[in-house]
């Protein structure tokens, strides 16, 4: 066979294979470049060591690193409640932002559903707190404090009218319970101070305000940010100036707003005047609670408070005519 015949027979086939080989080379080069570019452009972060730390303290840091957290829980009574006992990505490992990390958090304390104490006598409520079912065992709850209020029409003396935490909330057995209770029906001696108006550090500020609202006594608050969750909503200090109470109140900023918890409000008075605060239920605005009696403020003075929220609510600042000056919504994030 001549050279011309060989060329005419095999050259088209060789060109075909060359074209395929060239295409494959181009494809692999392109694929390599895509992977290389993606790898170079990905944000890399270093996984911190979170074992032994409370999850609420590392939550914000993990969010800043853009890590997707999946929480699991186990119960080890001999270990501290709420600490992280396992992490799926070892400390110091470099991973892409957006990576998933599993954390196991210890539930070291018995958990219970808060019983409904409203409507019970104080004696009965205390007895109920002594024996609360947690799984198959009974545990007791700790009384954090009692705030007494004047008896309204239709209420019985020495009876629980409100509680923190609210009924049905899942809590640990170590959480303290605060009660708002109507005053006992006992006659006071002349000159004896009113029960329930001698507030002290550690008392519930939310209930102290409710007591003052019933007594129509004005009060002012200064919010004091704390890093200790157990102090949340408690009175740091109190003094009475004339007929007005002045409080300093601890507030712990929540990482996530769930079904219930403490909230804060700060707003500068737009002008000299008398202002009050109410909280409305967003699902039923006929349900509203006064959380401060009318109080006089100077223009520019800060109107501050800390209150306990259950569900989605709106806080409303009213002037002396009852007109809305400012409102703010507080809602669950989950």
Cα torsion 312, 166, 106, 252: sign: positive
Rounded to whole angstroms, what are the CA distances from 216 to 6, 155, 159, 213, 284?
112, 18, 21, 5, 25
Look over the chain and give the mean of its residue pLDDT values, rounded to a whole number: 86
Nearest to residue 330, comparing CAs of 272, 274, 276, 253? 253
Alpha-carbon distance of 276 to 136, in angstroms, equals 47
The number of beta carbons lying within 10 Å of the beta carbon of residue 175 is: 17
Q: Which of 42-56, 76-90, 234-248 has the lowest mean pLDDT?
A: 76-90
Alpha-carbon distance of 235 to 206, in angstroms, equals 9
Please give the average per-residue pLDDT across 315-331, as a whole number.
96
Pick the CATH number of 44-106 from 3.30.10.20, 1.20.1740.10, 3.40.50.300, 3.40.630.10: 3.30.10.20
Alpha-carbon distance of 5 to 231, in angstroms, equals 97
Burial 3-12 (b: 16+ CB within 10 A, else e): eeeeeeeeee
Beta bridge partners, 43, equal: none
Domain 44-106 and domain 109-185 have a common topology: yes
Note the CATH architecture for domain 109-185: 2-Layer Sandwich (3.30)
Rounded to whole angstroms, what are the CA distances from 6 to 9, 21, 80, 148, 252?
5, 22, 85, 110, 88
Alpha-carbon distance of 89 to 95, in angstroms, equals 9
Q: Report pLDDT for 274.
A: 97
Burial 135-160 (b: 16+ CB within 10 A, else e): eeeebebeebbbbbbebeeeeeebbb
The answer to whether the CB of 157 falls within 8 A of the CB of 125 is no
Between strands 219-225 and 244-251, the pairing is parallel
Token pair of 219 as six digits: 């009060």
Q: Report pLDDT for 14.
A: 54
Question: Mind listing the pLDDT tens digit for each residue in 59-104?
Answer: 888 989 999 999 988 877 767 778 899 999 999 999 999 899 999 9
Please check the confidence at residue 284 and state whether its pLDDT lies above 50: yes
In the chain, domain spans: 44-106, 109-185, 216-333
Nearest to residue 87, comparing CAs of 40, 136, 35, 46? 46
Q: Report pLDDT for 136.
A: 75
pTM equals 0.69
Q: Report pLDDT for 207.
A: 96
- What is the rounded end-to-end Cα distance, in angstroms, of the chain? 83
Q: Report pLDDT for 192.
A: 45
Domain 216-333 class, CATH top level: mainly beta
């Amino acid at each position: 066979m001549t050279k011309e015949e060989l060329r005419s027979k095999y050259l088209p086939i060789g060109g075909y294979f060359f074209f395929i080989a060239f295409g494959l080379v181009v494809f692999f080069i392109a694929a390599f470049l895509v992977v290389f570019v993606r790898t170079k452009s990905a944000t890399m972060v270093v996984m911190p060591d979170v074992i032994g730390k409370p999850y609420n303290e590392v939550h914000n840091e993990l969010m800043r690193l853009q890590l997707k957290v999946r929480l699991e829980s186990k119960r080890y009574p001999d270990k501290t409640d709420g600490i992280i006992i396992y992490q799926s990505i070892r400390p110091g490992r470099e991973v892409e932002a957006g990576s998933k990390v599993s954390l196991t958090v210890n539930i070291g304390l018995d958990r219970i559903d808060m019983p409904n104490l409203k409507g019970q006598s104080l004696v009965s409520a205390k007895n109920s707190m002594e024996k609360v079912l947690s799984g198959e065992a009974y545990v007791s709850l700790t009384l954090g404090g009692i705030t007494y209020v004047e008896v309204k029409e239709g209420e019985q003396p020495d009876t629980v009218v409100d509680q923190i935490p609210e009924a049905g909330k899942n809590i640990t057995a170590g959480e303290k319970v605060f009660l708002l209770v109507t005053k006992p029906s006992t006659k006071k001696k002349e000159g004896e101070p009113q029960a329930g108006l001698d507030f002290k550090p550690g008392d519930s500020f939310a209930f102290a305000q409710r007591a003052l609202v019933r007594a129509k006594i004005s009060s002012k608050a200064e919010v004091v940010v704390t890093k200790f969750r157990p102090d949340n909503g408690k009175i740091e200090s109190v003094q009475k100036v004339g007929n007005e109470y002045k409080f300093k109140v601890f507030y712990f900023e929540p990482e996530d707003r769930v079904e219930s918890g403490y909230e804060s409000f700060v707003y500068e008075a737009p002008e000299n005047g008398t202002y009050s605060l109410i909280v409305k239920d967003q699902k039923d605005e006929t349900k509203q609670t006064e959380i401060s009696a009318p109080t006089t403020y100077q223009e520019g003075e800060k109107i501050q408070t800390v209150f306990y929220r259950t569900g989605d609510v709106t806080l409303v600042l009213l002037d002396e005519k009852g007109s809305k000056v400012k409102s703010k919504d507080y809602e669950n994030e989950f």
